[in-house]
Each structure stands twice: as C-alpha cells, then as structure tokens.
Structure 1
Amino acid sequence: MNHVLAIDIGGTKLAAALVDEEGSASRSGTRPTPRTDVMAALASLIEEVTDGGPPAQAVGIGCAGPLDLATGTVSPVNMPSWRGFPVRDEVQKLTELPTVLAGDAQCFALGEHWLGAGRGSTSLLGIVVSTGIGGGLVIDGAPLLGPTGNAGHVGHMSIDVNGERCTCGGRGCVEHYASGPNLTRWALENGWSPAAGADKADARLLAEAAAAGEPVAVAAFERGGRALAGMIASTVAAVEVTTVVVGGGVSAAGKVLFEPLARALDDIAGFAFVRAVEIKQSTLGVRASLAGAANLAWQATTA
C-alpha cells in the first residue's frame, strides 16, 4: 500500500500522519506549536511519524495563512515567528519528497469532500468557524486555490458594507459577527454574563446559555447565523456550490447555531439553486485538515 505524508500546521498544534490512498492513517503524531523555532518542532514531528514507517511518495501541507503559493511561503497571523517563511521548500529539503501546500481551511474543505460530510458532492464550500472564520472551495473534486493560494477567505467577505471595521482592515466582515470571540464580545456588550464560577466567557459557555434559552445568548447566535447565511448565499450565487460543510469549535454548538443559520438562509436566499444548497456539520472534526493535506498530496502524485 502506498502512502503520503500529511502535515497540518496551526497556531496551537502541529499534526502529521502517513496516509494511504483510502484515507487511513498508519502512523500519526501531534505536538503543541512553539512560539519560536516552529520548524525544529515540525522536523522532530516528521521524524517521529516517518521513522520506521512505510515510505511516503509525496508530502501535503495545510497551513494557517495567508500564504503565497508561488514562493511556497506562509505568514500565519497567529504564528508571529513565521513571516514569509518558506515552509514548502524547508519540508521538501527535509523529506526529499515532492511537496505541495495549501491553506488549512482549504484542506479542511478537501478533507470533508474526500472522507467526510461532503463526500460525493460535486462542489463544496467548507467553513471553519472558530477563533476566526476560514474557508475553502472544492470544485469537481479539486481545491480552488486562486493565484496566490488565498481563495476561499469567506470569513472576510463583507455582509455589511457600512458595518464595523474588522481586524483585517475591511468593513462588515462575517468574522466580526460570527467567530467565537465576536459572538462572545457582542453578547457581553449586550448584557450577557457567564454563570458564576466560570473562568472566562467564551463561545462554549455562550452556546450552553443559548441552549438553556438565555435571551442575549440566543440573540448572539441568531445574529451570527444570519451573518453566516449572508456569506453562504453570496458564495453559492457566485460559485454554485451544492454543499456547505461547517466545522470548527463553534460548530459544536449544534442546533443553537445551525437552526438560526437555516432560518436566515431561507429568508435571504432567492434563486432556486441558492436555496437548494445543503448545509451540513463536519463529521471529521479536527482530522479534516490533515485528511485534506493527504488528499492534496495524492492529487499531486497523479497530476
């Protein structure tokens, strides 16, 4: 059985696995992302996963962005020690294998399309709703990466051109309305507070409050769901995806998020092909980006 090496690089965790053509991992490992000397930690992880394992044919990397495909460099917002870091070339030198790179949210979408909730769909939008909001598009089985590799940044689509400034510098970005910290921020500003004894207010506690019917918490998810629905309707109108898979930590809120999202999309969407889109919750969870990185490598070996 042939294998590829899949790597997922995020601000809090590094993950790697040897993955066969069916998507099964024979060896895998994780470790925390250090604040400095990330490459040394990644090299150690790669050695751990590959030493004594079946030989890999290629390497697929999913990494937090932004990135530049032409140069193979990355500048993850939450990894300040990497700015214009040539991760593709460094991994290729280390492994002596063909190496391909994409954004971690793009790999999430590709993984869900290959093995998860989007399996069998002709075109898919994957959305990661967490500390930020990332996204990726898979069209006819292939990831749509764009000229620089940054296609699918749906978290920074504007759903209110007169809205508040986002940290990216834009105005009215969906991330400013629907990411975990921004759901929590809005709820706190409007009178919600976590239960006594809570260490800190976060989206998980907010979701629990919404599930219990706390009005401000419910309103926060209604507001966030409507923002996501506006972004989804716009993306479907532009690209005509048939399936949307939502993952990330905030998706664990379940019906607290998905029910207002569905209601808002029903209100916002007009054309029949937009209204026909299926919204699904991720089935791979944290494994999706690693699966997508493996599929990226498999596609490179057959290109």
Structure 2
Amino acid sequence: MAAADPAEAAAAGGGRAAPVLAVDIGGTKLAAAVVEPGGRVVAYDRVATPSGEGLDAEGLWRTLQGLLDKVHADAGSPALAGVGCGCGGPMTWPAAEVSPLNIPAWRGFPLRERLRDRYPGLPVRVHNDAVCVAIGEHWRGAGRGRSNLLGMVVSTGVGGGLILGGRLVDGASGNAGHIGHVVVEPSGPPCECGGHGCLEAIARGPGLVAWARGEGWRPGGQDVTGVELASDARRGHPVAVAAMRRAGHAIGVAIASATHLCDLDVVAIGGGVSQAGALLFDPVEEAFRAHAWMAFARKTQIVPAALGQTAGLIGAAALVFAADRYWNVRD
C-alpha cells in the first residue's frame, strides 16, 4: 500500500516527485493527463471516442495508446510513478476487464492487463469512471477536508462513488455508491438495467433529450445531448427548463435517500447535465428538502463538482498517489 504522503508514494527523480499518467475512458471521449502529486495537471489532451461498425477492440486500443503517448511526450516524457485509469462500466473489478455500455467495441476487454503490459514495473490501477470523479472531488475538489462524500456524475449515464470516514468504499464488486440505480419512481420509465424508475432512467442526458423531444422540444440537429438541452434551458426554453426540473427532482429524491443511509457531509455533482447550473441545482435542493427530514441528513451540502472536466483524471491519479485512502486492493 502507498504511503499517506503522496510525494513519498511517487518515485523520485532529480529531486522532484514523479507524476502519474491518468486516463479517463468514456462513451464520448478519451482523455489523458500527466498529473503531479499535488493534483496539478501538467499536460492534457482528449479525443472523441471512436465508434462505428468497422471499429474493433484493437482499433480502439490503438487510439488510446496514441493519446497516452502524445500526452506523455507533451509533458516532457518524465519518469512516471504509475498509471491511474477511470473507465465506464460494467467491469470486473479489480481485474478491470471492461465492457462499457457506451463502447460496444470493448466487451470483456482486459484493460488493466494491457496497461500493465505497456507500462511494466509501474502500479496500474483502474476503477469506475464515476468513482474516480468522487475520488478527485474528495482529494482535491469540493469535498477536500470532509470525511463523508458522495460524488455524482450526471451525463450520458448517472453514476457515483462513495467516501465514508475519509476512505473510498468499494463494496463487494467495486460498485458501491452507484446512485444511478436507486429507484426514485417505481412506476417510472424503463431503465437499461432492466428495472423501472431508476434515477439514471430519468436524469441521464439521453433520457432527458428523449423526454424533451416528446414534449415538443425541437433542437437543430439529431445528435444532440443533455449539454445542448441544458444550454437551451439557460436560454429559457420552457420544455428544456421543465426537463431540468424533472431531472433535478429525481436527483434530489435520490440524494435524500443516500444521506439518510450514509450520513454525508457533502454531495458533489458533475457531468454534462450539471452544466445547467441553478436550473438543475435549484430543483435538486427543493426535492432534497422535501424528502430529507432527519436533522442529520438536512445538514448535507449539495454542491457542483469543483474540478470540472479534470475531476476523473485527478481522481485516477489519486489511485496511485493516495492509495492508502482510495485503493483498497493488495496489488
């Protein structure tokens, strides 16, 4: 296990602690960064996640390799302390054979094994991408200095990670904190998990877009996302505003349940849909206050994620730098 001091956990070179190569793999983007022990990003790049009928597992892997090589070179090709990676699920954990729902080219792809082969002798740690966002927000973001945090991502899907007593809680399969499948409306819309009324079925970007289209929203194009919906909501489009309120209500109900169960200090919400700002957070707070009646639960703060698009990368780096808190596996 790593030492508590992240600088001690990194390999030293030239009197300066070595950085971590951090990776964030999602359905819309592949991102990578070189991150220093204090959490500072010194090199960053991203590419669209390849897709299409002709794409196979190795083609996607080659794209990722090219991105990693570029970012490492952009940082000056430093010696590395390790590799940390967040990836969409499901995955077997901690082996990290990944089958991301939004990346059909990878089914049972041995991501951690392939990264270990590419970076021999270095610690390589892979966790769910939403878990990495939660770690990043606890380590260097909105939850810094707090002991109990739920980090949420509301984007193409809805995921989360859970910090209790200052440490990441993994659960039996690495899925603890997966608030996206808390049921908030038992007779609600079907979810890809097979259930009905899950938070993800209501609040995820594609679900909101489909609902808004059904209510008469007519965006300029077919390949629109929750980000465009949020943008229209900020401009005052009534259906887009209603969609944000619908998502916010569902999120607030789910958070009320989570706070009663976990006695949280703070809930940090990030992801593309959260870019709607007060149009989302106001109904979140209203629904939370309507359903959280225990005094201890009502003390929980609900805030936007502080680290923006780099939260997952910073959290992935913390899997190496602060493994004593965030990597509960004997490598």
TM-score between the two structures when normalised by the length of structure 1 = 0.91
The alpha-carbon distance between structure 1 residues 162 and 48, as it changes in their structure 2 partners (threshold 3 A), is same
Matched, 1:10 2:34: no
Equivalent residue letter for 1:39: W
Secondary structure at 1:28's aligned position in 2?
strand
After TM superposition, give the deviation of residue 301 of structure 1 in Å.
7.7
Which stretches in structure 2 are left out of the alignment for 5+ residues?
1-15
Residues 94 and 127, structure 2, Cα contact 8 Å, conserved in 1:
no
Residues 94 and 126, structure 2, Cα contact 8 Å, conserved in 1:
no
Secondary structure at 2:315's aligned position in 1?
helix
Residues 187 and 217, structure 1, Cα contact 8 Å, conserved in 2:
yes
After TM superposition, give the deviation of residue 47 of structure 1 in Å.
2.4
Q: 2: CA distance between counterparts of 1:211 and 1:11?
A: 25
1:67 corresponds to:
91
2:61 corresponds to:
39
Residues 27 and 53, structure 1, Cα contact 8 Å, conserved in 2:
no
The alpha-carbon distance between structure 1 residues 6 and 248, as it changes in their structure 2 partners (threshold 3 A), is same
Equivalent residue letter for 1:48: K
Q: 2: CA distance between counterparts of 1:217 and 1:32?
A: 26
State the identity %: 45
Aligned residues: 300
Secondary structure at 2:322's aligned position in 1?
helix
Equivalent residue letter for 2:226: A
* Candidates 52, 72, 75, aligned match of 1:50: 72
Secondary structure at 2:207's aligned position in 1?
helix
The alpha-carbon distance between structure 1 residues 222 and 60, as it changes in their structure 2 partners (threshold 3 A), is same
2:241 corresponds to:
218
Residues 69 and 147, structure 1, Cα contact 8 Å, conserved in 2:
no
Report which stretch shifted further, 123-132 or 8-17: 8-17
2:199 corresponds to:
174
1:130 corresponds to:
155
Q: 2: CA distance between counterparts of 1:248 and 1:148?
A: 24
Matched, 1:152 2:177: yes
Q: 2: CA distance between counterparts of 1:14 and 1:275?
A: 37
Q: List per-residue Cα deviations over 1:3-54 (Å, max 9, x = no partner).
A: 2221111122222222221111233333332233222222222222334422
Report which stretch shifted further, 16-25 or 97-106: 16-25
Q: List per-residue Cα deviations over 1:205-263 (Å, max 9, x = no partner).
A: 54355445554433322221111011111111111121011111111111111111111
Q: 2: CA distance between counterparts of 1:211 and 1:163?
A: 26
Secondary structure at 2:81's aligned position in 1?
strand
Residues 100 and 300, structure 1, Cα contact 8 Å, conserved in 2:
no
Q: List per-residue Cα deviations over 1:92-111 (Å, max 9, x = no partner).
A: 11101111111011001111
Secondary structure at 1:101's aligned position in 2?
strand
The alpha-carbon distance between structure 1 residues 145 and 181, as it changes in their structure 2 partners (threshold 3 A), is same
Matched, 1:229 2:252: yes
Report which stretch shifted further, 29-38 or 79-88: 29-38
Q: 2: CA distance between counterparts of 1:192 and 1:14?
A: 30
The alpha-carbon distance between structure 1 residues 25 and 220, as it changes in their structure 2 partners (threshold 3 A), is closer
Q: 2: CA distance between counterparts of 1:38 and 1:240?
A: 41
Matched, 1:84 2:100: no
Matched, 1:274 2:312: no
Q: List per-residue Cα deviations over 1:173-210 (Å, max 9, x = no partner).
A: 1112112222232233234444xxx2246534543554
Secondary structure at 1:38's aligned position in 2?
helix
Equivalent residue letter for 1:221: M
Residues 58 and 301, structure 1, Cα contact 8 Å, conserved in 2:
no
* Candidates 272, 288, 295, aligned match of 1:249: 272
Residues 150 and 267, structure 2, Cα contact 8 Å, conserved in 1:
yes
The alpha-carbon distance between structure 1 residues 192 and 70, as it changes in their structure 2 partners (threshold 3 A), is closer
1:105 corresponds to:
130
* Candidates 188, 200, 203, aligned match of 2:213: 188
Equivalent residue letter for 1:102: H
Secondary structure at 2:70's aligned position in 1?
helix
2:323 corresponds to:
300
Residues 102 and 145, structure 1, Cα contact 8 Å, conserved in 2:
no
Report which stretch shifted further, 135-144 or 284-293: 135-144
Residues 6 and 297, structure 1, Cα contact 8 Å, conserved in 2:
no
Equivalent residue letter for 2:260: A
Q: 2: CA distance between counterparts of 1:247 and 1:237?
A: 21
Secondary structure at 1:56's aligned position in 2?
coil
The alpha-carbon distance between structure 1 residues 261 and 67, as it changes in their structure 2 partners (threshold 3 A), is same
